[in-house]
Structure 1
Amino acid sequence: MNVLPLSWFAIVRLGLVQTGLGAVVVLTTSTLNRVMVVELAMPAMLPGALVAIHYAWQAFRPAWGHGSDQGTRRTPWLVGGMAVLSSGGFLAACATALMASHAALGIALAIVAFCLIGAGVGAAGTTLLVLLAKRTDEQRRAAAGTIVWVMMIAGFIVTTATAGHLLDPFSPSRLVAVSGGVSLIAMLLTIIGVWGVEPRAVAAVVTSTALPATTSLRAAVREVWREKQARRFALFVFVSMLAYSAQDLILEPFAGVVFGYSPGATTQLSSVQHVGTLLGMTLVPVIGALYPRSRGHLQNWSVAGCLTSALALLALSAASLLGPSWPLRETVFALGLCNGAYAVAAIGSMMALVGAGSARREGVRMGIWGAAQAFAFGTGGFLGTLASDAAHALLREPPLAYASVFAVEAGLFVVAAMMAVWVHRAGTRPRADGTVLDVAKAAMVGG
């Protein structure tokens, strides 16, 4: 019995899971972060450490991917993971509100909440990507990954824009109510997204063709790590995502401190950034359709996206020094646009390369890359806030402190651009006629 690949409609429906996931996560990493730092006057390292905790839990992504490779049914992982995530997101908002009157108790509750968020994101996110990779035609994989990520960014945009309006005038009870509504909507989108996508008959076929249950996780991870391109891509993901995420937790506090933005205004500023990211992610496929020769050049898009992101961060550094006279919203939009171009190239590479190594290791391979991304986000978020606190302590001037941190992040993106070339060189192999075949490009164009 042949397993039918996912239709475009099924891919879009699965994207609703990522939309709900993004909606819960963006509220915890942007809005709650800003409330802790500005309204509650907590050190920036507190939300940085909490976000790092939630990313630390995602070190288990290879294990969840390995479980998927063994043939277990994935729908329960998706629904269960989203239930844990939604509960954690709501609990995090309650903890933040509690910090205003009982700081120690609120922080303790927040630690529990962010552990739930990390476990939920890791379980649902990894399983979703494995399902896409294993049930999508090779020619559609890159497009499927892009669709799902675009829908996640759409969740960011709708959530930050709507929450920005609902949170003004700000109050802790209003924050809890908005968070609860977002969590309920996320669960509803998840149920709609997975309904009927993975019938039990299909799960039985997948199980019958899976790896033997005796295959150990350690052996599977070791096998994938020996693949040169998979290993290099994991390192590229780590460095580039480190640069991508280091500004995530300081952008809203920066806008509040230097530009005097309110909580609602800074949340809407995040929405502007996500609109730019969405446009950047959709612009690359459009250019690929208009100019087919550019469709498979993932290396070029990766390098260009990283370098232009570095320029946008340098512009933010200048904005820190020049203050309210600088066009902040336009700069943040440009940063999102450049990040989107980089992200869609990285996603295209990931979906194209996930099946390029040893057979039936898609889940482990995706898990390793997901763990690298999570570790980078956790490290980047914490180091960004730590650098912000350190720069404030040493330089005594908030604008100068933020300018220095943004400049360092720009340098990381330059390093990531060089690594993008390094990754794709590992995927070339000589043909019989002496020419060189780019494996990733061939997978992208169906060659």
Structure 2
Amino acid sequence: MRSSFGWWSIVRLGAVQASIGAMVMIATSLLNRLMVLEYGLAAGVPAGLVAWHYVVQLSRPVWGHGSDMGRRRTPWVLGGMAMLGLGALMAVHATTMLDTSRSTGIALAVLAFTFIGAGVGAAGTSMLAILASGVAPERRAAAAATTWIMMVMGIVISAGTAGALLDPYTEARLVNVATGVVGVAVLVTCVAMLGLENKVGVARRGETAEPPASFADALREIFQEPEARRFTLFIFVSMLAYSMQDLILEPFAGMVFGMTPGQSTSLSGLQHGGVLIGMIVTGIGGSAFAGRMPVELRVWTMLGCLGSALALAGLAMAAGYGPGWPVAANVAALGFFNGAFAVSAIGSMMGLAGAGKRTREGVRMGVWGTAQAIAFGLGGLSGALGVDAVRNLTGEAGTAFQLIFALEAGLFLFSAMLAMRVASHKRPGAFLGTAGI
């Protein structure tokens, strides 16, 4: 008989997600800002590095299929976290080399972001597969929301802590802060995973279902399912909209509002704090109204996307207004509405993960993780390159940020329409499921 995780086990998996988020924050948020403002690189350089780590994550289905074929997924999680931590520290070292040897520093950064992408792909995909296979179906969406909230908490805590410890900025201080974040994240992961998979491991060894499909057959099965295809498209478009501000928010704070590295990092933490609150409020709302009224994907997702579009329109206005605009409240609102639409998508992903006849959770989570990774890579890179291009044409940083934020707002409006179309193919409430916490 198949065992399932209790809530304490789900929280432990959430701690792994939080550790992944804490280490990724160093590379995609903190170092991005430092490379642009402290070391004078064009915004497209760190954006390209972050995009490259998403390209590496195209291997997610391969990692997931590999963990499907084995008896245990824990080694994939721990190995991935080791790669991620090594890559984060290599990226910090590469950044500190930019003043003395720019070409060597950039070359080392490319290698570092390769490790980061591989680590996130291996650890993240396998961890989500453990969650999907180890949690009872009625708890999957709620468990997914819980672990995602904990990941955001990891980003918020690490960003806030790093921001407070980095001022006044020195390279030695950067190395010490990054080493501390990586060390704590790896330790937390090892403790959290200790013995966690025993129940699921026993269940998997005793399964009598037919063996997993080959990798090619698994991909073919997934993309023959209309529901899976529609959901993959929704993930791609919504995450493209979600990610465009990621690499330009901190440079925006520095260029337009004159914030220090610590202040802009803290602002990024405030955004992720808004995401956390949005997820919690939306999850509680889903639980409160479950069983009383039909709760459709379009309700939660459209509200989140429309609110995100309004918040981005506010940031576009802030780029022209400058100091005096309530930028902190604006960024927090953006995070809140981002979190609102994210909860329903996460719940759906977990609910569909075990729907295959022969494909198992690892490869299916890998496919959707790949769609998200491609969208994040394109979104972050296009946002940064767009800012660079408009700045070069106009000589005005504010105008560049205005245009990109307005474009992102338009993408969120398109995502809202797409979400309504996806929802129309499902029964009321099916997409959100039990995403309440």
TM-score range, shorter chain: over 0.9
Residue 213 of structure 2: SS of its match in structure 1? coil
**Structure 2 unmatched runs, 5+:** none
Cα distance in 2 for partners of 1:214, 1:118 equals: 26
Match of 1:291 in 2: 289
Match of 2:45 in 1: 46
Would you say the 8 A contact 2:44–2:381 is kept in 1? yes
Cα distance in 2 for partners of 1:296, 1:72 equals: 38
After superposing the two structures, state which structure 1 stretch, 59-68 or 363-372, moved more: 59-68
Would you say the 8 A contact 1:59–1:371 is kept in 2? yes
Q: Match of 1:156, as an amino acid?
A: I
Query: What is the aligned-residue identity percentage?
Result: 49
Residue 344 of structure 1: SS of its match in structure 2? helix
Would you say the 8 A contact 2:97–2:104 is kept in 1? yes
Residue 391 of structure 2: SS of its match in structure 1? helix
Q: Match of 1:440, as an amino acid?
A: F
Match of 1:362 in 2: 361
**Structure 1 unmatched runs, 5+:** 429-436
Q: Match of 2:272, as an amino acid?
A: H
Deviation at 1:289, TM superposition (A): 3.2
Match of 1:115 in 2: 114
Would you say the 8 A contact 2:287–2:434 is kept in 1? no
> Number of aligned pairs?
435
Match of 2:220 in 1: 222
Given the alignment, which residue of 276, 279, 287 partners 2:277?
279
Deviation at 1:363, TM superposition (A): 2.3
Deviation at 1:408, TM superposition (A): 0.3
Cα distance in 2 for partners of 1:236, 1:445 equals: 18
Q: Match of 1:266, as an amino acid?
A: S
The reply to whether residue 148 of structure 1 matches residue 112 of structure 2 is no
Would you say the 8 A contact 1:232–1:422 is kept in 2? no
Would you say the 8 A contact 1:126–1:370 is kept in 2? yes
Q: Match of 1:276, as an amino acid?
A: G
Cα distance in 1 for partners of 2:301, 2:354 equals: 20
Match of 1:206 in 2: 204
Would you say the 8 A contact 1:281–1:341 is kept in 2? yes
Cα distance in 2 for partners of 1:138, 1:92 equals: 39
Residue 410 of structure 2: SS of its match in structure 1? helix
Cα distance in 2 for partners of 1:295, 1:142 equals: 17
Match of 2:382 in 1: 383
Q: Match of 1:346, as an amino acid?
A: A
Deviation at 1:444, TM superposition (A): 3.5
Would you say the 8 A contact 2:305–2:412 is kept in 1? yes
Q: Match of 1:297, as an amino acid?
A: E
Does the C-alpha gap of structure 1 residues 177 and 213 become closer, same or farther in structure 2, counting only changes over 3 Å? Answer: same
CA deviations 1:269-299 (Å, max 9, x no partner) are 0111111111000001222233333674233
Match of 1:440 in 2: 431
Provide the alpha-carbon RMSD of the alignment: 1.8
Cα distance in 2 for partners of 1:299, 1:208 equals: 40
Does the C-alpha gap of structure 1 residues 207 and 71 become closer, same or farther in structure 2, counting only changes over 3 Å? Answer: farther
Cα distance in 2 for partners of 1:445, 1:351 equals: 10
Q: Match of 1:255, as an amino acid?
A: A
After superposing the two structures, state which structure 1 stretch, 360-369 or 407-416, moved more: 360-369
Would you say the 8 A contact 1:229–1:424 is kept in 2? no
Residue 309 of structure 1: SS of its match in structure 2? helix
Cα distance in 1 for partners of 2:279, 2:200 equals: 32
The reply to whether residue 320 of structure 1 matches residue 304 of structure 2 is no
Cα distance in 2 for partners of 1:329, 1:439 equals: 35
Deviation at 1:229, TM superposition (A): 1.2
Match of 1:68 in 2: 67
Cα distance in 2 for partners of 1:241, 1:445 equals: 19
Would you say the 8 A contact 2:142–2:435 is kept in 1? no
Would you say the 8 A contact 1:33–1:249 is kept in 2? yes
Equivalence map 1:77-226=2 (5 Å) = 77-199=76-198, 202-209=200-207, 215-226=213-224
Match of 1:251 in 2: 249
Q: Match of 1:219, as an amino acid?
A: D
Residue 97 of structure 2: SS of its match in structure 1? helix
So what's the TM-score if we normalise by structure 1?
A: 0.93
CA deviations 1:38-79 (Å, max 9, x no partner) are 011100011011001111111111122222333431010111
Cα distance in 1 for partners of 2:171, 2:324 equals: 32
So what's the TM-score if we normalise by structure 2?
A: 0.96
Q: Match of 1:244, as an amino acid?
A: Y
Q: Match of 2:282, as an amino acid?
A: V
Cα distance in 1 for partners of 2:308, 2:177 equals: 32
Equivalence map 1:331-370=2 (5 Å) = 331-358=330-357, 360-370=359-369
Match of 1:20 in 2: 19
Residue 336 of structure 1: SS of its match in structure 2? helix
CA deviations 1:304-344 (Å, max 9, x no partner) are 11111111111000000100021000000000001010111
Cα distance in 1 for partners of 2:48, 2:214 equals: 32
